[in-house]
Structure 1
């Protein structure tokens, strides 16, 4: 029997509505659980936060945080190695479910991704050899300073260090190599990056000249995933309260979590 054309149109429209309703109900939290896998974008090569161990396996405080979060979801962790500059684009391209990779929570980034409540913090410093006199941004005018591209370091130094020649590197590993080999002798990074440079080139005697920022870090998520964000926020808050995230931070960084993390998460 041939159905009337009007009935076919009505049936087709109803099917479209049903598909749309199903798509609206499905979300990334469900998809992750169904897949049995959590894909986390991590920029490997950031001392203490994310690096490779002697067996060439990813480790560090961010990697262990990702591993614990995957365990909380009841799924396996898949680390998606990225460059620092690709942390957001990889997420937006859906090649990762979230990014846990030393991402400071900024207004500019929050326009394109959602952030969890802070799970850790990073201290940003300007360092140079002991005999170089630098007390603040004004002293960087006319000097060359190295940093990692697309980081809070980059944004902050570009804004404040007027007249400085800024050398941008794709990742911390390249920045470290540049400082060790003498391509730059002033850099904006973290205390852990400075420690790694001093370990590789002890004769250079790098030291902290001034602190730029103590910045809370967030887990980056795609926008439009409220259930996933709510779950991650609850997980972070619970693991801050239990001390688990502080335990991870202390294990790799040798100090307790900065108070700014706990205070911000409680607000």
Structure 2
């Protein structure tokens, strides 16, 4: 099972790398170049409340956007927020459309072959979400079920690698569409961040749904990502994340938008 999982990760990333090979990276990668440009362009994942929302003018807002604003402030430049989803975030970075990503990317070894991944700025628990009356106490309960996932995500790789007989993985462009597929009855379950799922269930009064706790998918961390040649920016972001954590700013932002501290206690470094 583990070997299958690793092979699928490698295949997914290999396809992504081939698709990105024709991109033309932006030149604004050193701190001096970003300062000279006077603006940093940051790709931010959208469609995953409570981590993101929109302001009164319809522009992206939320935890990730506030973190992007804080990074730009510490760089001493203006910020341009570029909304991305699971399917588009890697291409946006590799093509030079954005200078770096704050887009809920987990620092897998395969992704680290393509990008420089920072120390984590947040953590999450990935769980199955399904109807309350659907038994889900073991993987065998997924036999013959349809499960939605965001295309190319870590949960896509994980659920696809289970090898459960008759399990059909149904892929969508982002988390919101994968969740909507469950709500509309297109699938039997979805794989989602527990905090996000609980927020959707509460806000939309989906009393028939629940986050399943007996079969955890994984608990992982989110990192920022820069292009391979952006070593100075990568080091600066690691310093930025460390400083925001030790001063309490990261937890304050997380509590402001998500309602709870970042799960898992002290964030790891690597």
Please indicate the TM-score interval, normalised by the length of the shorter structure. 0.7 to 0.9
SS at match of 2:88: helix
Aligned Cα root-mean-square deviation (Å): 1.9
More divergent stretch after superposition (201-210 vs 175-184)? 201-210
Which structure's residues are more often helix, by fraction? 1
1:165 maps to 168
- Which of 173, 177, 182 aligns to 1:179? It is 182
Task: Output one character per residue of 1:8-34: Cα deviation in whole Å (capped at 9) or x when no partner.
Answer: xxxxxxxxxxxxxxxxxx953222111
Decide whether the 8 Å contact of 2:145 with 2:188 is kept in 1: no
> Following the alignment from structure 2 to structure 1, what is the Cα–Cα distance between the partners of residues 36 and 161?
44
More divergent stretch after superposition (42-51 vs 220-229)? 42-51
2:216 maps to 211
> Following the alignment from structure 1 to structure 2, what is the Cα–Cα distance between the partners of residues 263 and 56?
32
Within a 5 Å distance, the mapping from 1:79-90 to structure 2 comes to: 79-90=81-92
Do the aligned partners of residues 27 and 134 (structure 1) sit closer, same or farther apart at CA in structure 2, a change above 3 Å counting? closer
- Which of 247, 250, 253 aligns to 1:245? It is 250
Structure 1 residue 208 displacement after superposition: 2.1
Structure 1 residue 252 displacement after superposition: 1.6
Q: TM-score, normalised by structure 1?
A: 0.84
More divergent stretch after superposition (55-64 vs 229-238)? 55-64
> Following the alignment from structure 2 to structure 1, what is the Cα–Cα distance between the partners of residues 75 and 225?
17
From the CA coordinates, give the structure whose radius of gyration is larger.
1
Which stretches of structure 1, 4 residues or more, deviate above 4 A after TM superposition? none
2:9 maps to none
> Following the alignment from structure 1 to structure 2, what is the Cα–Cα distance between the partners of residues 47 and 211?
21
Within a 5 Å distance, the mapping from 1:1-267 to structure 2 comes to: 27-163=29-165, 164-198=167-201, 199-200=203-204, 202-209=206-213, 210-259=215-264, 262-265=266-269
Do the aligned partners of residues 193 and 161 (structure 1) sit closer, same or farther apart at CA in structure 2, a change above 3 Å counting? farther
Which structure's residues are more often strand, by fraction? 2
1:23 maps to none
Which consecutive residues of structure 2, in runs of 5 or more, have no partner in the other structure? 1-27
Which consecutive residues of structure 1, in runs of 5 or more, have no partner in the other structure? 1-25
Task: Output one character per residue of 1:217-262: Cα deviation in whole Å (capped at 9) or x when no partner.
Answer: 11001001211111111111111111101111111222112236x2
